[in-house]
Every structure is written in C-alpha cells, then in structure tokens.
Amino acid sequence: MKKANAQPVFFAGRHYLVLLLLLGMLAALIWRAAYLQIVEKEFLADQGMQRQIRTIETPAYRGAILDRFGSPLAISTPVDSVWVNPNEILKNLSALKEVTSKLDLSYPDTVAMLKQKANKEFVYLKRQLEPDVAKSAAEGVDGVYLQREYNRYYPAGEVVSHLVGFTNIDDQGQEGLELVYEDWLKAEPGKRRVIRNRKGEVVEELAQVKASRSGQDVYTSIDMRLQYIAYRSLARAVQYHGAKSGSVVLLDARSGEVLAMVNQPSFNPNQRKVSASQQRNRALTDVFEPGSAIKPFTLAAAIDNGLYDRRSIIDTSPGWFMVSGHPVKDIRNYGELDLAGVLRKSSNVGASRIAMSIEKSQLWDSFTDYGFGKSAGVSFPGESSGYFRHYSQWQPLDQATMGFGYGLSLSITQLAKAYGIIANQGRELEISLLKKQTDEVQQNEIARHVMKSSTAKMIVEMMEEVVGPKGTAGLAAVPGYRVAGKTGTAKKSVAGGYQEDDYIAVFAGIAPASDPRLVMAVMIDEPSQNGYYGGKVAAPVFSEVITNALRILDIAPDDPARLRADLEDKGKGA
C-alpha cells in the first residue's frame, strides 16, 4: 500500500515465510538424500544391479558326424546372429536403416516388425551370419547386439547328403543320421550370470549357473573314398542312360558295415530349401520288384530243402509254359538247363518251375530268413520293409512269378543284405551305418545260418558263370578278380499291371568270389536311352566301383595270372 508522497511499506512476514519454505525444501532434499544413501543404499544398489544383471546362454558344439577314419561329414562352425532391443533401436531410426541395409533387410518391414514386438527386449534381425559380416552391421550402434551360435556345415555336400541329412536353423536334426542320433549329437548350452552395460556388453562375470556340454561325435561306417567313387559312377550312369533315379549300396561282407550308400538325384544339405522327394534316402525308402536278381535265392531255397543239387536238370522247353491262364516266358527256348544254366541264361521258366516245386510254406520261410519283407535294420527315418505277402494268400501264379522276382518288393539295401548272406557263407548279416567294434564284427562271424554254407558256396560258384563270357553280366567283370553276381531287369508296376516301356535295371554281386570281402547292389530306375537291361546299365557301375574299392582296400587278386594277362594285353593294345 502506498500513500501520497509516502515510502513503500515492507512486509517482513512474507519475506520470512518464503525463506522458511525454501529452507524446508532444502532440509527435505537433504533428508531424502541421506535416507537413500544410508537407509536404502543396499536396496537401491541391488535394484540397479538387477537392471544390469542378465543370465545369458553359453553356446556348445553339436557333435560331429565322421566317416570311419574321422573325415568330417557334418561339423558345426561358429557364426553370429544379430539381435536388437526394440525400445532402444526404434529411438534411432537412422542407425536402424543403415543396419538393415548392411543385412540386406527391408527397412519398412523391419520397423513394422519391431513396433509389433516393442514389448520385448530381444528380437532377432538376422541369424547365422559370418562373424565379420555380423560385426560390421552391429558395430557402434546402440541397441544392436550379437549372439554367438553354431551353424551346421556339410563338407562333402551332396555326395553324402541322403545319409547324413541336415539340421534346422536351431541346430536340431531333421533328416538322416542328424535325426536318428539327435540325442547323441545335440549340445546342451550352458548358462552364466553377467553384468552388461547399456550397450549390452558384458563387463563382469558373476557366476556360472549351468555348465555347457558339447554333443558326442558319431563315427559312421562310411569310407568317403569309396563314397565319392560310388557317387561319381552312379551319377554318370544315370545321366548316360537318361534314368529317373538310381541307388548304390556297398557293404563289407564280413562285418556288415555300409561302406558307401549313394543316390541320384541328390541335394546340397548346406542349402536347406529342398523338396521332400530330394531329401529321401532312396536306397532305404524306395522299394521295387527286383526281377531276376532274386533267382539265386529261389535256387538256394530249393537246394536247402533237398529238392535239387548242382547236377539237377530243368527242362525249359519250349521256352514258355502256362500258369493259371498266364504265360511264363523266356526270350528264347533254352531247352534243358542245369541250375547254373538257369542263372547263367536267367531263365524265367526254369526259376518258376523250381519255385513251384517248393512247398509254399518252405519258400516263404526261406525268403523271410533272407530278409524279404523285413526292414534292413539300420534304424533310418522312413526305412521300408518292402512287400512280401504271407504264403496263405498266394495263388499258383504268385508262386511262379515270385521265383523270378515279381510279386514281392524290396529296397536296394535289403537286396544287398540278402547277397551278404551268400557272401557270409549263409550266415545272417547284421548291417550297420555305424563303425563296428571288433567284438561286433566277430558276432557276424558266429551269427546263425539262414542258408547252408554248402548252398551259399554253390550259389557263389553258379553266379560266377553269370559274370563269365556266356552269362548276362560280362560287363560286371573285374580284371584279376573272380566276381559272382546276378542281373535283374523288371518292368515297373502300376495300378492294374505293368508299364510296357519303363524298367528297373539291377545288378547285385560279390567280390572276390574266392573269399568274399565286398557286396554291392546297384539299381537304376527307368533308364530311357543306351539300353535298359541290368547287365548293360547296372553291371558297369558295379565293375567300376568294385575295381576301385578292391584297389583302395588293398585286397589281393584271386586270379593273379589272369590279371597279368589282362595288363599285358592292355599294354600291347596301347
């Protein structure tokens, strides 16, 4: 208030009131600071620590898949995945745009995705990158981090793809041995508690919560030297004959180990985007009627049941006969044939007459013992048991055609296993995709006989004639070695009958015949050019692979004189 010509009036009370309020506020701040620093110190420190402490995963290696000598078929290599905290990176869109450009990602799509996941603290931008690429993208950008992972790599690529299979992006087995031995191969990541700074960098290790455990390695029975040879030879044959597909299985006749297993067409397991038809291991999943390749077992069943011996004669005249109104025919009239002649000429009439002379139950028991109608026993995804009806369902025509390989179906692995019985002196052969120990090999040598050893020996001798100059499989011969085997050429079955122009070409054989060490079966599906008979299409593949395998395995020739003569002739020709 002022009066005219009066001095201003000073209200001391208001001044002191304001001063008192300020002092009160200062006292409150001091008290609060003291309370937080003294009373709440440990609590606040713990809360701050909790906002920086993280439990992170310690990655571990998945077990390797190796060949029998330790060469890698599947290994895990370190990679980095790029991840972000959406709340952090969305505050710096210019940096995010640069990161998406380096990672070859769509910037608008990435922003939209991160906004949808804004409530999360961890979102992958891109996984399993080469460490240098990942580091270049994330370096110096707040809210963008790296996580170490392991990527599955397959050094042999398509050469062994159907056997090994592949994993998904999370390193879990999806096909092949990767799936079969998932529990054995898988790694168990560890966990550790750390302190991270605001950039996500680990600044202090606090404790190990759980130790990591790497997966265990798997040693397969495969010999990659032989696998490469078989793959190359099969691929060349499928291309030359314009075939739809093909498979090769090579076994150790003594141990039952699978030394090579290849298929065409193949795929690269390092590129996971392949069709289901490409992924399947045809050697184990696909079945077919084997045709004449079954004839040695028809003869073996007859001999074991005491109905025939080596001197027995079969009259195949006039080259055909009727069964239930249907003709069984040979390509010509072979007249009278001994058992070796039935195989050498591949007589359907002879094989049918022999099959029909055996009691149904006896033939069924023998074929079942040889493994027909049962899986090969390698515990592989999709492994087929084939098709072999009980004898109570057979008609006379079924029994007749079964003698030369129609009316039953099997995989090429089942066929190789059956020939392994002959090579193993009639003993049951337990085949394996894993490398066997010495005691397991010895078990094969004392396994039960499903065929008399004398019968097995006789069948080997007769099959040698098939590969001789008068047989159907001269192209399967190996210089310097005695080889025994049998061709098969069968029409492909369709609903209601058989296709006239589509064939399966088969050859299965044993080498050396004097002391069997290797068994191999070849199947070429629908050869469309340059022949279709098993002796012309499949037998040369057998010869090429076995020739190289005998040399690589250092198996001595059982006919050195013949080998020298062949080499001398070859030298003169040069």
| DSSP SS3 for 301 | helix
Residues 470-504 as b or e (16 or more Cβ within 10 Å = b):
ebbbebbbbbbbbbbbbbbbbbbbeeeeeeeebbb
Are 413 and 261 spatial neighbours (Cβ–Cβ below 8 Å)?
yes
Amino acid making up residue 215: G
* Phi (first) and psi of residue 425, to 5 degrees: 60, 35
* H or E stretch covering 356: helix 348-356
**Cis omega (within 30 of 0) on the bond before 327?**
no
As given in the structure block, the two tokens for residue 108 are 């608008």
Q: What angle do CA 209, 210, 214 make, to 5 degrees?
A: 150
Amino acid making up residue 36: L
Instruction: Report CA-CA distances (Å) from 370 to 124, 280, 351, 396.
Output: 54, 25, 17, 22
Cβ burial, residue 560 (10 Å; 0-12/13-18/19+): exposed
Distance CA 71, CA 160 (A): 12
| DSSP SS3 for 465 | helix
Q: Which of 81, 233, 247, 292 is catalytic?
A: 292
The torsion region of residue 443 among left (phi > 0), alpha (psi -120 to 50) and beta comes to: alpha
Distance CA 166, CA 269 (A): 6
Are 114 and 123 spatial neighbours (Cβ–Cβ below 8 Å)?
yes
Catalytic, 432? Answer no
- Reference 423, options 486, 376, 377, 347; nearest CA is 486
Bridge pairing between strands 202-210 and 123-129: unpaired
As given in the structure block, the two tokens for residue 262 are 């290849």
Taken in order 313, 318, 321, 327, is the CA torsion positive or negative?
A: positive
Residues catalogued as catalytic: 292
